A and B are shown apart, each in its own frame.
Chain A
């Protein structure tokens, strides 16, 4: 989507990811989106729709057996064409990522300080002492008081919420331009979630980091996202401004997602999302769509842009 007032930080064009095996399965069938500098884009969808795959594909963290096609441009450079060596310089420094399970993402045998200081020592070749003191500073910015002690703690000694904040600190210590947050709120309780929200907001405002927020929780996303992209079964079905999505959803799937929120009545969408190895013909959502027509069963809709929004549905040709 074009946002004329902002420069493009990340531009994904027609990204396709397939996994080779006995049967080749296409996890992403050509998705395109862009994120501007300092912008927050939320990628929303049910489990299994391919949002995490997209995140891993951008960072080139997928296993070697996967086939990736398309372009992913970071400030004009195509990440998919870079060598592994060049990629290692970008990871952590220009793009950071936080994973779903913070307690498992941190190495249990190294102290928090060591792991926070690692990107500094790696990318900026700083000495250990200096790196550790910068790590302590980063922890302070995250809201921790006794940073001197925490530096020597280990992940297994801390709660999930604390580990989540350590993870954010480690991923943002080099001030990357883009932070990808892959389901950061999963498994956290209500208080941790609001802390997480506050932390991410701080990142947005103080450090001016662009954020790619991946979540299945529309409610969580509402307060943070500037724009929202909705994914279903490996495709993007709608992209719009945050207010547009929440007040005027276009795609039937988006409408269904909103209706399933607690405040709208918890009405679930009937059926299940299809396995990526056996996709329905025509429009992938049609088996669960209350508004399907004949053409939906036979033909696949293209994604069409109008007025700053994009929808993939025959209802809006």
Chain B
């Protein structure tokens, strides 16, 4: 039980840290805090600035500001984007669905493909196919994500004209959506798969030396039996942790890919916000992304405890 409370405190602390960072950042950064809170390049008169200052509570003591900040978050009020003239929460909600669809499917495809290939490569590392796939995945994981996206866009879209190059769909139906999303999901899955491949391969190479693998063979299991019935389950544990830790990285990678493929998700949103210095939007996005990463971590911990009985104790 103490393990759970320990983890629980850590998550709460992370949550607190994220909220604190979100709170202090605009107030710490150089420049007028009002500007930092509403975004630069927003033209407002002096009077409006004063009103905003009062409204945003910048003249109140710090702890009061923090309290109202936290309560705002709890009411799902993430501020207002003056660039896009809409509440931040609304904008994010609108776009995040697509991004999650895109990231989610890539993560799942990548996890399965990468794990399977990694397991096979780890089981028989001397074979030529194992070495070739290993090398290929190492190369993939070393490429900057957007470069690969760029290349595939160039080759498959511009040159070969196989896939459209912009947007999520031409007409809101499944076929069109799949057609548009195919290339970005492919690229993203390759990245997800390469990380899973490397970890799974290392894991299998280690686990197959263990005594229980030999004992399974001694019981009469053949080669594939030992791999799929015993070694695989034990080797999958690091993958779960990887998926959680990965979430932040994959989400970030997705942003770049969205920008390149001109998909209307979080990526292009954030890109526009950077260009226009729309701070409230950026902060809101950061908060949402961090919270999702936190949730992913908690989920992974839970899953790990479910699968690995060494972490649990008998009732």
Contact = CB atoms under 8 A, between A and B. Distances in A.
Q: CB atoms of A and B under 8 A apart anywhere in the complex? A: yes
Interface of A: 59, 61, 84-85, 88-93, 96-97, 99, 101, 104-111, 118-119, 122-123, 153-154, 156-157, 167, 170-171
Contacts of A96: 218
A119 B212 contact: no
A167 B221 CA distance: 16
B222 A84 contact: yes
Contacts of B230: 107, 110
Contacts of A90: 220
A89 B220 contact: yes
A3 B75 CA distance: 88
B309 A108 contact: yes
Interface in B269-306: none
A109 B211 contact: no
Interface in B217-255: 217-223, 225, 230, 233-234, 237
B314 A153 contact: yes
B310 A154 contact: yes
A91 B309 contact: no
A46 B67 CA distance: 73
B151 interface: no
B156 interface: no
Given A84-B223, A123-B220, 5 more contacts: A91-B217, A91-B219, A104-B210, A105-B214, A108-B309
Contacts of B310: 108-109, 154, 156
16 contacts: A91-B218, A92-B219, A104-B210, A104-B211, A106-B212, A107-B230, A107-B233, A107-B234, A108-B309, A109-B233, A109-B234, A118-B219, A154-B310, A156-B310, A157-B313, A171-B219
Interface of B is mostly: helix
A200 to B, nearest CB: 18
Nearest to B220: A92
B15 interface: no
Contacts of B215: 97, 99, 105-106, 167
B308 interface: yes
B213 to A, nearest CB: 8
Most buried by A among B214, B219, B221, B309: B219
B307 interface: yes
A119 B309 contact: no
Interface of B: 210-212, 214-223, 225, 230, 233-234, 237, 307-310, 313-314
Contacts of B314: 153, 157
B8 to A, nearest CB: 23
B218 A92 contact: yes
A119 B220 contact: yes
A88 B212 contact: no
Nearest to B207: A107
A277 to B, nearest CB: 22
| The 6 nearest A-B residue pairs measured at CB | A92-B220, A154-B309, A92-B219, A104-B211, A107-B212, A91-B220
B214 A61 contact: yes
B214 A108 contact: no
Contacts of A123: 220
Given A109-B234, A154-B310, A59 B218 contact: yes
A61 B212 contact: no
Contacts of A109: 233-234, 237, 307-310
A55 to B, nearest CB: 10
Contact of B211 (A105, A111, A171): A105
Given A104-B212, A108-B310, A61 B218 contact: yes
Nearest to B310: A156
B222 A85 contact: yes
A25 B314 CA distance: 47
B217 A61 contact: yes
A108 B231 CA distance: 11
A111 B234 CA distance: 13
B234 A122 contact: no
Contact of A99 (B211, B221, B222, B223): B211
A153 B55 CA distance: 61
B219 A119 contact: yes
A122 B221 contact: yes
A126 to B, nearest CB: 14
B11 to A, nearest CB: 25
Contacts of A101: 211
A19 to B, nearest CB: 16
B226 to A, nearest CB: 10
A237 B307 CA distance: 50
Nearest to B233: A109
B240 to A, nearest CB: 12
A268 to B, nearest CB: 30
A127 B237 CA distance: 28
A93 to B, nearest CB: 6
A314 to B, nearest CB: 39
A198 B314 CA distance: 28
Nearest to B229: A118
A104 B222 CA distance: 20
Contacts of B210: 104
Most buried by A among B218, B222, B310: B218
